[in-house]
């Protein structure tokens, strides 16, 4: 049986986190060196939000509470899961972060995995699916990386933040998603970064995977895994498990600009020509281009083009003679990140096509 699917028999015992995020043993706990070590990194977002009234579910100030405060409020229960360290990467809404910021986050996650058994990232839901997929493509450790957040601020009645954070730490500490890459857990669901998408602006069950279903669930009875990402087949072969997108070989300051162009009835060419003039090196189409868009795109020499669907699911097939890369069934926002990383390595069309097939649309 592959290592990734073995049931972990023991879960680490208690630890406490001081205000500075230093791990110390709690009374009656196992020695610190015997516990699983989980790094919890906070980025703000709704989960760290503060509302004026407990009944304010949708009006609040995001990112106002440090991650150590959120973790400490889950004591003593969370201390029964693992030895924890905490740190804030930032305290703002997820939409305020940039690709360059997420590059730095991925490097931080990699560093923490050097001396921790797993990492939990707490962030806002608006760009969670993009942040998670970027980590999925770039983090080279096979250790678990779990992303979580909330749809209601921490201070609201019925906030989903506390249970989501607790479950994320629980999942990370279990080691059950080793070699899964980055996963998302909210609303008792476990979702793969590649497939997860936000579908509702207010409901706590907003994240789904459209066609393929959840990886599993997490509730009081336990963690249940029903499927795994295709990359687990290479769990015992790290050279094949990792992607070509090693950030130690990619300069953050030279990440290429890649834009998304949405297609609609009579869509004009100007957004494409403006993006190219502004320095875009890649273009992802969300939907079938209009005639004007297609003409402008084909005239943009040296700009990589990727076709994706705009319908939430379903794969895209393109004529290879057109020089356009098929995004398969990748969502436009995720195809953009894969193209961005690919262009940071090469401009060779055939290589980019191969990477979209191998890493963007992995199959068993």
Q: Which residues are catalytic?
A: 46
Question: 68 is written with which tokens?
Answer: 């150590």
Q: How far apart are CA 228 and CA 241, in angstroms?
A: 14
Cβ pair 293, 264 in contact under 8 A = no
Quickly tell me which residue has 């004009």 as its tokens: 268
Residue 176 bridge partners (DSSP): none
Contacts of 148 by beta carbon, 8 Å cutoff, 6+ apart: 47, 120, 121, 122, 123, 164, 165, 167, 168, 184, 185, 186
Q: How far apart are CA 271 and CA 19, in angstroms?
A: 49
Cβ pair 177, 110 in contact under 8 A = no
**Which among 13, 8, 262, 276 is positioned nearest to 143, based on CA atoms?**
8
Q: Which helix (H) or strand (E) holds 176?
A: none
Cα distances (angstroms) measured from residue 141 to each of 115, 247, 351: 11, 12, 24
Other Cβ atoms less than 10 A from the Cβ of 48: the count is 31
């Amino acid at each position: 049986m592959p290592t990734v699917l073995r049931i972990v028999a023991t879960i680490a015992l208690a630890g406490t986190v001081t205000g500075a995020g230093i791990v110390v043993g709690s009374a009656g706990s196992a020695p610190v060196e015997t516990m699983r070590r989980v790094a919890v990194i906070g980025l703000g977002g709704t989960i760290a939000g503060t509302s004026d009234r407990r009944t304010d579910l949708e009006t609040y100030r995001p990112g106002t509470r440090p991650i150590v405060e959120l973790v400490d409020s889950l004591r003593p229960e969370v201390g029964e899961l693992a030895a924890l360290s905490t740190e804030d990467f930032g305290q703002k809404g997820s939409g305020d972060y940039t690709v360059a910021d997420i590059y730095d986050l991925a490097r931080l996650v990699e560093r923490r995995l050097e001396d921790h058994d797993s990492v939990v990232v707490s962030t806002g839901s608006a760009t969670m699916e993009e942040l998670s997929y970027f980590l999925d493509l770039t983090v080279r450790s096979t250790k678990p990386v779990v992303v979580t957040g909330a749809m209601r601020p921490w201070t609201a009645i019925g906030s989903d933040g506390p249970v989501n954070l607790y479950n994320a730490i629980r999942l990370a500490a279990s080691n059950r998603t080793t070699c899964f890459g980055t996963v998302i857990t909210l609303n008792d669901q476990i979702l793969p970064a590649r497939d997860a998408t936000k579908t509702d602006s207010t409901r706590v069950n907003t994240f789904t995977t459209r066609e393929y279903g959840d990886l599993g669930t997490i509730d009081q009875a336990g963690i249940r895994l029903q499927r795994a990402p295709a990359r687990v087949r290479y769990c015992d072969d790290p050279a094949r498990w990792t992607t070509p997108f090693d950030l130690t070989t990619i300069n953050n300051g030279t990440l290429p600009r890649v834009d998304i162009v949405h297609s609609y009835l009579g869509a004009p060419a100007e957004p494409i020509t403006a993006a190219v003039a502004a320095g875009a090196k890649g273009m992802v189409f969300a939907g079938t281009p209009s005639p004007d868009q297609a003409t402008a795109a084909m005239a943009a020499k040296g700009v990589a083009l990727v076709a994706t669907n705009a319908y939430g699911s379903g794969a895209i097939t393109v004529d290879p003679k057109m020089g356009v890369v098929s995004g398969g069934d990748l969502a436009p926002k995720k195809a953009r990140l894969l193209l961005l990383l690919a262009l940071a390595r090469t401009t060779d069309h055939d290589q980019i096509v191969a990477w979209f097939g191998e890493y963007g649309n992995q199959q068993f």
